[in-house]
Every structure is written in structure tokens, then in C-alpha cells.
Structure 1
């Protein structure tokens, strides 16, 4: 929603207006300390429905009769006013902003409303639901908070302390719950999406859920198909070998994909007279099966031997680790190292062994 703040200010107890005028674009308010800069942002927040009056106490709060804001929201000019410590907010629209149009008489009690946020939602925010996921809503047990004029505050104002601390991009971002709401509502307030977006997101979730379901069913069917192929393929080959067929009149793929039609086709040539267990083709099939079986037996024995070898190695390691018999250090003899070529002796090894023995026998303090 495009917005321009024209002016904000205070009408004092003497009905005198104290305005601050702003222009389109970025406005930066500067000045000496205790001149009311921080009060501006709190006045704006208060006039747009804040549940608390956080305007700094001082000369402003001592003399304020009405706080007010005049701004353009989505090409409609609103004037919001609010008395100190009052829940009702004066809400009016005007055709054109003029500096002299707002005075104490402008805020008649007949324009004061108590359900301000609900009224402004109906006025500006044509959106009833911002849930993007039906499942998230179900698990949380509640719907997402709908955008209100309060969420829009974060896009209009920024406080110097938040900028200096470098931890909050927008106003009110130092409060976790409000920050999360603003982030979720950002795409709506920037005009990127409307109500239809959230409805389409739910449809998208439902379609994705259906795709996942169908994908899972496909995986199950594929697994079942593979199991059936593994069972049927050898039986089919044996049958065709007995019937002396060099090729397969009904393919395995056809039987899997269309079993009823394949069964009818097989009935045309499946009868006892066509089976011949003494045929060369059946003999070759028997030889192939026997050879494959022998190869698998050899592979099985190889794997079993490997398993036994690994188990024996693990047993030896366990015995070594659990053994209580330690080598007697006094029984170890270390002699000089002798070169096998020139027979030169080197005494470094005994010296190293002696140093190692000393380090092992030094008591710990």
C-alpha cells in the first residue's frame, strides 16, 4: 500500500495546533535532545491504534488535548486523532490535504470509533486469510494473524536507536512476535500478492501432497513388479524350454502389464503334447541352471570363508585386549644394533630403550 504522511502533531489544551509537516519520500527528523523527536514516532503509533500510550512524559503529554496524523493510504486521505489515555480513535477522510483544515473542531465525538483495527482492515486490507499451508494451520491449532494497520506501521517508521544498534531493519523489529508477523505480511504490504495468492498456495500444497501420494504408490507398484518379474522369469524360461520354443511367444513384459490377455494367449499352446523334457533345448536350459547354481555356490563359500576369517581376526583382537598376562619388562633384552653389511655396532637403541623404561617407571605425582 503506497502511503504518504502529510502531517502529524498535537492540539494543546488551548486548542492550538502544533504540526510537523512531511513530504513524499524519505523524511529524516533531526534536532537537539529533548525537542520531541522521539515523541513523533510514538504519537504516530498511538494514533494508529497502539494498545499503550508510550508518548514520553513531559511538556507534550502535560499539554496535549488531541494527538493526530494526516496521511494518504492507497490514494485515500485519512485523518486519525486520539485523546490521551483513550481507546477511541477519531477517523475521518478528506478530499485534499490543506494545512489549515485540521483543528480542534475537526475531532467531533461522532467520528470516534472503538474497533479501529477492524475498521481499517475492512477499509484497506481486503484479505481474510494469510495461511499458505493447511497442514501448518492444523499442527499449530490456529490460523496466521491477519494483516492490520498495526503491521503496516513497521514499513513507515524507523527509530534512530534501532538503526544505531544494527539489529532491526524496521520499527518494532526488536519484538520477536511482531517481527515475525511483519515479515510474513511483507509481501502483502509491498503489493506483491493479494488474497488469491494465499488461496493458490493452499491449492499448490494440496497438489504437491497428491503428487507425493501417487509417487509413493508408484514406488510400491514398481517394487511389486520387480518381485513378480524375479519369480516369473525363470519359470517362464523353463516352460518355453520344455515346449521347445527358441523365442518367447508371450513376453514377460506383456504378462506383467496385461496378465488377463496374456493368459488367453498362453492357453492356445499350453497343453501336454507340447511338453518334451528330453529335448536339446530343455537340456541346455538344465545345463545353464546347473552352471549358474554352481557359480553361486562357489561365491557363497567364498563369502562364508571371508566372514569366518574376519570373525577369527576379531576374536584374536578381543583375546589380546582382554589378556591379563603382561610381558615382564625385566625379561626384555635390548642389544646393540649391528649393520648387516659392515658389522658396525650402534648403541643408540639400548639408550632409547633405557630412557623409555625410566619414563614408564616414574611415579605420577
Structure 2
């Protein structure tokens, strides 16, 4: 997934606008302090549905009525328009998809007149996330959701920690990631990382929940088995006493010394009194009715299980469909010609055929454009799966209830009272004892032979086989190895203290801890003792994450990175050589500008490497106050405050 920023537009209430267009690759916005550079991060964050606005108050907020960011997503564009906080509509936004950028090149406020201003929560944001393929609605690994541990639905907000390095963060020795000061958000992003990177999906979390549920059921089943499994002597005694009760009613005597097998055969098929051989008691009829109803429930349960299998298959095929759709679009290009079509034999002009082809080309182009808009649109099946599972459990409970009714039917006093004569009473007792014996045999046999336990353990084995396809341990090792290799390589090209070399950086994706290994010990970031070291570490980490992100085709993390004033380590106050008078300061300035030039050189080299290795060109936006002609070709804006230039 390649998500980059195409344009930022700010509208006031008179349809005046300010805009910045961006390219793939390296984009530098430079200029004096207080020209609005740092606000660009906050505008992008705001149009990624931040719950609050952190856009600096002043000229920008006074001017703005509507903030707009146009995102390029593979071959189509998503337009997000969000009203300024002062409008009172910051909980609402506009969203539209376009396949042709020409429709957006000269966008003005009238573009939004035919769009609905809709709620962000559970509407606009959800639709945006579906377009980029982010559609996992439940990351909870248990069926019980609590307020303290409610991971819930993944969102685009879980990706922003990988996108922004603010000016107070880019060389910070105490923090690396945006929003990680909130311990809950930190934990959520770390746990979501494999999903965001496309290593696991919603089925993975459903399988984890199923595994936990099966383990609970197996534990419960084993406890029941221990409690209900009777010894052979107790089983024989129970059967003989129950049968003898019925035999005494029909004036028959049960033989002595019958084996357990013989008692079982008699118990499940007690003889009728000869004079009522063709009669059946009301209780017996009720048992038959319940058994038929239970069979119907078994059929309903089987249909639900088939539907669940189909839904899981649909979820697995979603990404492959989107990928093939893009391939189809890439091949649907016609070679148009303005020359007339002629018959190869008589060379007469085929005007009608040419018109038909033109109509076909126009229709197909419209179709392809509509298909492109679908992009990687992903619909989460989890709610429907959960609904079907709930229905499955409801039916299982009904089956259990019917079974219990069959087993205890004979205990209903009303039925016994309604028995009109001795014959009915005898047959009632037959049904009661036979049902009780059958229930006992079913329970004791199934629990004794552990048929339910065998099925549960078989189900657990299947679940674990499905889970093994994800291999999270391999994902962890491969990701950490990849990050280390690239962090070491990148940091080696930056201004990293000689005393700490050779570079030996480590990043643990289980807890997002980072350290440098030196002389047999671990050195944390805050122990490195130099702003240049902190900056080199931050840049190495984020450029490596950008590479890791784009090499994973199923990743939903946007492919852009915004860096705010990486040169501040070298130019904390002034970036203008003309303002300096001391010779030592001038020499230091020259050395510092060389370090800044090297930063941009490294950024561009990494962009080219990622594009070469993945086929996807990332986008890095740098907000700077340092300037030099050596990186002029990357500068898209250069604001001079003395000339009244700036974002607004």
C-alpha cells in the first residue's frame, strides 16, 4: 500500500485558499521561523482524524474555515476536508474519492457543495480506513471486553506514530515515537504493529479467541469427566435398580447375575406389557416430539457452520482481489489513433467501426475509473462472523435445553397426574425409566469415553494449525533483523560519535525498546550524550521503519514521513551565515551546514534505495529553517518572512 500526500489546501470563508503541492520522494519546505512550517504536520494529523486540533493558534486558525488534504493511494485519490475548530463542526468531515487528479488540480470550495458533511466517528473515518484496507474491528484476544483492556477496532490513528517527527521529538533523548507519552496508546500501537504491517489479519485475532475458548472448554470438560465418570460397579447397580422398578410394575422378575452389557440392552428397550403393546403414553410422544425438534436444530447449526467457513474464505480473498484489480487497470490501456480504419482488401474507410471502437473505449475507460475507486476497499466481516457465532451458540443452548427436557420429562408431575388408569401409569413409568436410563448411559458413556473431549481437542488442533500459518516468531525475528541491518547502515553514514563506533543498534518490536551495544554493554538513547547521536538514532530508526513498511505489500501504514527541523541540532538559533561575525562561529557554521547537507543526501539515498528494492517511491517531507543551494532541487517552498511569505 502506497499512501502519500498530494496537496494541502486551506480555505477561508470567502473561497480564498492557500495550498502546497507535494511530490513523491524528497520534499523540503524551508524558511524563517514563524512562517507556518511546523503547522503542516498538525494539518496533516488533523486530516487523519485526530480527536483534537493542535494547529497553532494565530494567523492560520484565524484564516482557516476548512482544512483539506488530498491523499494519493496507489492509482486513486482520497479528498479529506475537515472544518476548522472555530466552526464548531470539527467532529464532522468531507470525504470523496477520485480516479483523475485533473478533477482536483484547481480544487475550490465549490467542490464540497455537493458532498455531505458527515460524522467522523463510525462514518467518515471508517470509510477512509476501508479504502486503505484497514478493516479489523476487534483486536481483543478474549470474548470479554473491559474498559481497562479494550483494544477494539484498529484505526488510522494507530499509524501516526510512524509518520511524524516533530521538532521537539526528532532529537529527543527521552522519547522516540509520537504519542508514546500516553502509556495506553503506546501499548496499543505496539500490539497493533503486526496487523498494520500486514503480518496478521482479523482472522488471526479470531483464531486466538477461539483457541482460548477451546482451552477453557477442554478444562471444563475434564472436570465434568472426573465428576461424572462412575465405576463399573456403581453403573451396574444403578441400571439393575432402575430396571427392577419397572419390572415390578409389570409383574416381571429381573434375573440375577446379569452382566453390565445385558442390563444396558434391557434398559434402553424395556418390554411393553403384552396387553398394551401398541399403545404409547403421552410422555413417550412428547419425548419423540422433542427429539425431532432437536434434529432440526442440528441442521440449523450445520448451516451456520458452513456460512462461517465461507466468510473466512471471503476475508482471505479480499486483498488478492484488490491486487488483481490494479493489475487489470494497468493492462487496460488502448493505443488510440486518429487515422481512419480501412478494409485491408478494398481499402474503403470503415467509419461505423471507428465510431463503435470510440464508444467502446469511452465506456471501458469509465468502467476502469470506477473500478480504480474501489482500490483496496476492504470490508470487515468480523461483525457478521460474530453475529453468526452468537446464533450458533443460541442454537447450541436450545439443543442442550431440548436434551435436558427429554432427560427429565418424566419428572413433570402434571403428566403423571393426568394418567387416567394403571396402564397409562405403567407406560408413563416405562418412558420415565427408559429415558432416565438412556440419559444416564449417554452421559456416562460419552464422558467415560471422552467423545466430547476428543472433539474439542480435535477442534483445538485445527485452530492451532491455522494459527501456525502466521508464524509471529518468524515475523518478529525477520523484522528485527531487517531493522538492525538498515539502522546500522544508515547511522554509519550520519554524524554518530566516533567513541561509540562501530554502530551496533538494536530495536525490539515486542516493547519498542532501543539501545546501542558497545563494549559488551547496552547504551540507552539517553546515555549517548550528544544531540548528533540522538538525531542519527531517530533518523536511522524512522528510515528503517519506512523501508520495512513499504517492503510489506499488505501494510496499511502510509508511505510518507514528515521531519520537522532535523538541522536544529546544528542550528539551534540562526541559519543565516550573514548574521554571524565571529570567525570561529563562521567556521562552525560551515561545518554544520555540511552535516545538514549530508542529512539530505542520506534521505535522498534511502528514498532511491527503497524505490529500487520495492518498486515504491516513499515520500519524505522535511520542514527546515536551514538552506543551501546544494539541495535546491528538493525545495518546494522557501518562505522569507521579510517579504511577507509563509503558509498564510
Q: Is the 8 A contact 2:76 2:100 kept in 1?
A: no
Partner residue of 2:169 out of 162, 168, 190: 162
Q: Name the CA distance, whole Å, in 1 between partners of 2:80 and 2:125.
A: 11
How far residue 91 of structure 1 moved from its aligned partner, in angstroms, is 1.1
3-state SS of the aligned residue for 1:93? strand
3-state SS of the aligned residue for 2:177? coil
- Runs of 4+ in structure 1 deviating by more than 6 angstroms, as ranges, are 210-217
Q: Name the CA distance, whole Å, in 2 between partners of 1:214 and 1:30.
A: 68
Q: Name the CA distance, whole Å, in 2 between partners of 1:23 and 1:40.
A: 15
Q: Which residue pairs with 2:135 in the alignment?
A: 126
TM alignment of 1:69-218, pairs within 5 A = 69-73=69-73, 76-85=76-85, 86-87=89-90, 88-98=92-102, 100-108=105-113, 110-123=115-128, 124=130, 125-134=134-143, 137=144, 143-207=150-214
Q: Name the CA distance, whole Å, in 2 between partners of 1:121 and 1:43.
A: 20
How far residue 213 of structure 1 moved from its aligned partner, in angstroms, is 7.8
How far residue 104 of structure 1 moved from its aligned partner, in angstroms, is 1.6
Change (3 A) 1:89 1:109: farther
Q: Is the 8 A contact 2:94 2:118 kept in 1?
A: yes
3-state SS of the aligned residue for 2:6? strand
Q: Name the CA distance, whole Å, in 2 between partners of 1:26 and 1:149.
A: 23
3-state SS of the aligned residue for 1:79? strand
3-state SS of the aligned residue for 1:100? coil
How far residue 68 of structure 1 moved from its aligned partner, in angstroms, is 0.9
Q: Which residue pairs with 1:12 in the alignment?
A: 12
How large is the RMSD of aligned CA atoms in angstroms?
3.4
Q: Name the CA distance, whole Å, in 2 between partners of 1:22 and 1:45.
A: 16
Gaps of 5+ in 1: 221-259, 261-365
Q: Is the 8 A contact 1:9 1:19 kept in 2?
A: yes
How far residue 208 of structure 1 moved from its aligned partner, in angstroms, is 5.2
Q: Which residue pairs with 2:56 in the alignment?
A: 56
How far residue 80 of structure 1 moved from its aligned partner, in angstroms, is 0.8
Q: Name the CA distance, whole Å, in 2 between partners of 1:50 and 1:106.
A: 23
Q: Name the CA distance, whole Å, in 1 between partners of 2:110 and 2:122.
A: 24
Which of structures 1 and 2 has the bigger CA Rg? 1
How far residue 55 of structure 1 moved from its aligned partner, in angstroms, is 0.9
Q: Name the CA distance, whole Å, in 1 between partners of 2:37 and 2:120.
A: 29
TM alignment of 1:18-33, pairs within 5 A = 18-25=18-25, 29-33=29-33
The structure showing larger relative contact order (alpha-carbon pairs under 8 Å, at least 6 residues apart) is 2
Q: Which residue pairs with 1:278 in the alignment?
A: none
Q: Is the 8 A contact 2:80 2:94 kept in 1?
A: yes
Q: Name the CA distance, whole Å, in 2 between partners of 1:57 and 1:141.
A: 34
Q: Which residue pairs with 1:271 in the alignment?
A: none
Q: Name the CA distance, whole Å, in 2 between partners of 1:30 and 1:174.
A: 29
Gaps of 5+ in 2: 227-259, 261-648
Change (3 A) 1:128 1:145: closer
Q: Name the CA distance, whole Å, in 1 between partners of 2:218 and 2:30.
A: 57
How far residue 115 of structure 1 moved from its aligned partner, in angstroms, is 3.2
Q: Which residue pairs with 2:521 in the alignment?
A: none
Q: Name the CA distance, whole Å, in 2 between partners of 1:67 and 1:139.
A: 36
Q: Name the CA distance, whole Å, in 1 between partners of 2:84 and 2:114.
A: 14
Q: Name the CA distance, whole Å, in 2 between partners of 1:195 and 1:132.
A: 11
Q: Is the 8 A contact 1:30 1:37 kept in 2?
A: yes
3-state SS of the aligned residue for 2:72? strand
How far residue 122 of structure 1 moved from its aligned partner, in angstroms, is 4.4
Q: Which residue pairs with 1:3 in the alignment?
A: 3
Q: Name the CA distance, whole Å, in 2 between partners of 1:177 and 1:27.
A: 33
Q: TM-score, normalised by structure 1?
A: 0.51
3-state SS of the aligned residue for 1:7? strand
Stretch deviating more after TM superposition (59-68 or 93-102)? 93-102
Q: TM-score, normalised by structure 2?
A: 0.30
Change (3 A) 1:164 1:78: same
How far residue 46 of structure 1 moved from its aligned partner, in angstroms, is 1.8
How far residue 95 of structure 1 moved from its aligned partner, in angstroms, is 0.9
Aligned residues: 219
Change (3 A) 1:38 1:92: same
3-state SS of the aligned residue for 1:71? strand
How far residue 168 of structure 1 moved from its aligned partner, in angstroms, is 3.6
* Residues 292-312 of structure 1, C-alpha deviations (whole Å, 9 max, x = no match): xxxxxxxxxxxxxxxxxxxxx
Q: Name the CA distance, whole Å, in 1 between partners of 2:65 and 2:191.
A: 36
